[in-house]
Amino acid sequence: MPDTASPEQQDKPLARLVEDQSLAVLAAIDDLRHDLPGSVHDARVALRKLRSTLVVFRPLLDGDAAKALEDELRWFAGELGGARDAQVVRSRVTSAIHGHPGGDDGGEELLAALDAADEPTWDRARDALADPRLDKLVAELGQVRLGSLAGESDPEKLVARTGDRLGQLVEKGRTAVRQGDDHRLHQLRKRVKRVRYAVTSLRDSAVEALPAGSGGGRVVHALEELQDLLGEYQDAVVTAGVLDRIGSQAPRLAGLAGDLAASQRELAASVRATLPAGVERVRRAARRLARRSPAVHLDR
């Protein structure tokens, strides 16, 4: 794809990054409105990437404008969240039914009950697509394309800001896996995503603040691994809770739902045991990055 950025944008890598991510969100919204396969997941990813940039690098942007835009992105992501969670849970339950000896007896009824319970989440997503608030957000994203959030252009400051977040992540990650309650682990997962997107962005050709050999790739890989573990843990816990509710509301499905919920909890426990090692891999990768990138300072 040819480089169509203006000279001004080329000199402002952060502004260009925000512009590129805004374009991705606009494309994702268009896909949602056309109900394309995978569009809910893709939209959530695009929204998270832009939100992560606005949050991590807010001090280097027009702070008030960045905060206002992030608030609207968070609203829309929240409206889609239930529908995406429903997709994930249904996929897990379907796989679990197929692997259960008694899955043929009550499996279809269990999925039907799951679909009925999920319908309000899909109504919420459809309502958001028709909400004038989304039209306003689309217009605001169009203004972002014109560089309205243009901020700090020094790549070293971008790296330093990301390094700060990476250090905080390691500290909070150790606390979360030690204390181990589901809420802390869920918050840790969101932090991991945010920092991973930030580090990945710094390695992007639009910014090039972390070139090859800097150690940024190792950090991204370690964060991806930890994110996958936390995601598997959370999805198993959420799925178990959904199955418990269905079993309590439909006694004839209680046996199958209970068995499947128990298997999800066993999986969650096994994944949880691997989380400390996952955080340690991130810590080691972060230390390596700090040794090779003078702008990164890790005090933890």
Other CB atoms within 10 A of residue 39 CB: 17
Does the pTM exceed 0.85? yes
26 vs 47: CA distance, rounded Å: 10
* Angle ∠(143,126,64) on CA atoms, nearest 5: 30
Is residue 285 within 8 Å of residue 118, measured between CB atoms? no
SS3 string of 172-204? HHHHHHHHCCHHHHHHHHHHHHHHHHHHHHHHC
pLDDT in tens, the chain (300 residues): 334 444 444 457 788 888 899 999 999 999 999 999 999 999 999 999 999 999 888 888 887 888 999 999 999 999 999 999 999 999 999 999 999 987 778 999 999 999 999 999 999 999 999 999 999 999 999 888 656 666 655 778 888 888 889 999 999 999 999 988 899 999 999 999 999 998 888 877 555 666 667 788 899 999 999 999 999 999 999 999 999 999 999 999 999 999 999 999 999 999 999 999 999 999 999 998 888 877 676 664
HSE (side-chain half, CA atoms, 13 Å) at 256? 23
* Contact assessment for residue 47 and residue 25, using Cβ atoms and an 8 Å cutoff: yes
Determine contact, residues 59/160, Cβ cutoff 8 Å: no
Cα 219 to its chain centre, rounded Å, is 17
User: What is the dihedral angle through the alpha carbons of 284, 289, 292, 293, rounded to the nearest 10 degrees?
Assistant: -150
167 neighbors 199 (Cβ within 8 angstroms): no
Angle between helices 13-33 and 39-56 (to 10 degrees): 160
